[in-house]
Amino acid sequence: MPNDVAGADPAAREITYAEAIREALATAMADDPRVILMGEDVGVYGGAFGVSGDLVHRFGVERVIDTPISELGIAGAAVGAAITGMRPVLEIQFSDFITLAMEQIVNQAAKIHFMFGGKANVPMVVRLPGGSGTGAAAQHSQSLEAWFAHVPGLKVVQPSTPHDAKGLLLSAIDDPNPVLIFEHKLLYKTRGIVPTEAFRVPIGKAAVRREGGDATIVATGVMVSRALAAAERLAAEGISTEVIDLRSLRPIDLETIAASVRKTSRLMVVYEGVKTMGIGAEISAMIAESDAFDYLDAPIVRLGAADVPLPYSPKLERAAVPQEEDIFRAAASLVRTGGA
């Protein structure tokens, strides 16, 4: 079971992932006039995926700002606003388009606090709808979170539930330096229990979504629900799988992962980004460099996307990205034969 569900809260109710994000934005904007939302079509249109909804009517066009179609310009404006005391939340319409703003995110936002000796902060949040599964082809379906987890000065989170979408966004807005939130497009309509009041999910802390003893599966984003579905099938075959929702890609909660590995002696990392040089490689290396390595009874398995631009064809797209069946087969092989 999740270790931070809100089910015990009498004020909790079931809402969608998108509604949870909008609720977090509304809460932050109502509590702090420095919080603004910026992006393409976030105003009257309500956002490309309907996330911002009616916020422009509630807070006005000076705080919910429809921007020109220039990711570099939007990011630069957000960096400038953050330095001068605002707390901008920037929505990049598709996460793929962040490539156009790399200069401002990687060379400016991530480094200003350090280059000014700690005398300046960049308290900005970048929301990034990403991932495959919508048939949007190679330029609108990528999972680029590992790129940014490579950059010192940035924090990178990837909520998999409506509860965490709200809690992590509020934590990100509180943070004095830049945080990137990768929101999977397939999750926007998923539903879950979320408290009505404001709450925070700590950045840098993973969640054990299911306990088990035969193997550990660390998953990110939409892969968490697929891993949990695979774990149910594995249980029917007598294989007990522990599923960890990474939630935070930078910083990574090595302590939780290592504790699980010491218990299960097997590890698989499942993520949607391309397998090569992905988050699975980093987690594998961290375990190899820790005392948990001595507990492994089999090589670590990485399950990521194929090294190809994502196809438009739905069948090819599914084949290129790990699905529930892939996770089930790989985990079963890891336990039974010691390999994928």
At residue 340, the pLDDT reads 62
CATH class for domain 207-337?
alpha beta
Which pLDDT score is estimated for 120? 95
In this structure, is the dihedral angle defined by the CA atoms of residues 295, 301, 304 and 308, taken in order, positive or negative? positive
**140 part of the active site:** yes
- Estimate to the nearest angstrom the gap between the alpha carbon of 88 and the chain centroid: 19
What's the sign of the alpha-carbon dihedral 83, 30, 47, 132?
Answer: positive
Q: Is 14 exposed, middle or buried (0-12, 13-18, 19+ CB in 10 A)?
A: exposed
Q: Tell me, what's the pLDDT at 51?
A: 96
Fold of 13-194: Rossmann fold (3.40.50)
Token pair of 61 as six digits? 């066009």
**Which residue among 140, 242, 272, 317 is the active-site one?**
140
Same topology between domain 13-194 and domain 207-337: yes
CA distances from 87 to 25, 115, 146 (A): 12, 20, 24
pLDDT tens, the chain, 340 aa long: 444 544 456 578 999 999 999 999 999 999 999 999 999 999 999 999 999 999 999 999 999 999 999 999 999 999 999 999 999 999 999 999 999 999 999 999 999 999 999 999 999 999 999 999 999 999 999 999 999 999 999 999 999 999 999 999 999 999 999 999 999 999 999 999 999 999 999 999 999 999 999 999 999 999 999 999 999 999 999 999 999 999 999 999 999 999 999 999 999 999 999 999 999 999 999 999 999 999 999 999 999 999 999 999 999 999 999 999 999 999 999 999 877 6
Q: What is the pLDDT of residue 160?
A: 98
Spatial separation of the C-alpha atoms in residues 42 and 65, rounded to whole Å: 7
| End-to-end Cα distance, the chain | 26
The confidence score (pLDDT) of residue 41 equals 96
Enclosing H/E stretch for 78: helix 71-83
Of 148, 64, 63, nearest to 105 by C-alpha is 148
Helices and strands counted in the chain (H then E): 12, 14
Whether 340 contacts 330, CB under 8 Å: yes
Choosing from 71, 91, 272, 317, the catalytic residue is: 71
Nearest to 46 by CA among 5, 27, 18, 68: 18
The 3-class secondary structure across the chain, one letter per residue, is CCCCCCCCCCCCEEEEHHHHHHHHHHHHHHHCCCEEEEECCCCCCCCCCCCCCCHHHHHCCCCEEECCCCHHHHHHHHHHHHHCCCEEEEECCCHHHHHHHHHHHHHHHCCHHHHCCCCCCCCCEEEEEECCCCCCCCCCCCCCHHHHHCCCCCEEECCCCHHHHHHHHHHHHHCCCCEEEEEEHHHCCCEEEECCCCCCCCCCCCEEEECCCCEEEEECCCHHHHHHHHHHHHHHCCCCEEEEECCEEECCCHHHHHHHHHHHCCEEEEEEEECCCCHHHHHHHHHHCCHHHHHCCCCCEEEEECCCCCCCCHHHHHHHCCCHHHHHHHHHHHHHHCCC
The structural domains of the chain, with segments of one domain joined by +, span: 13-194, 207-337
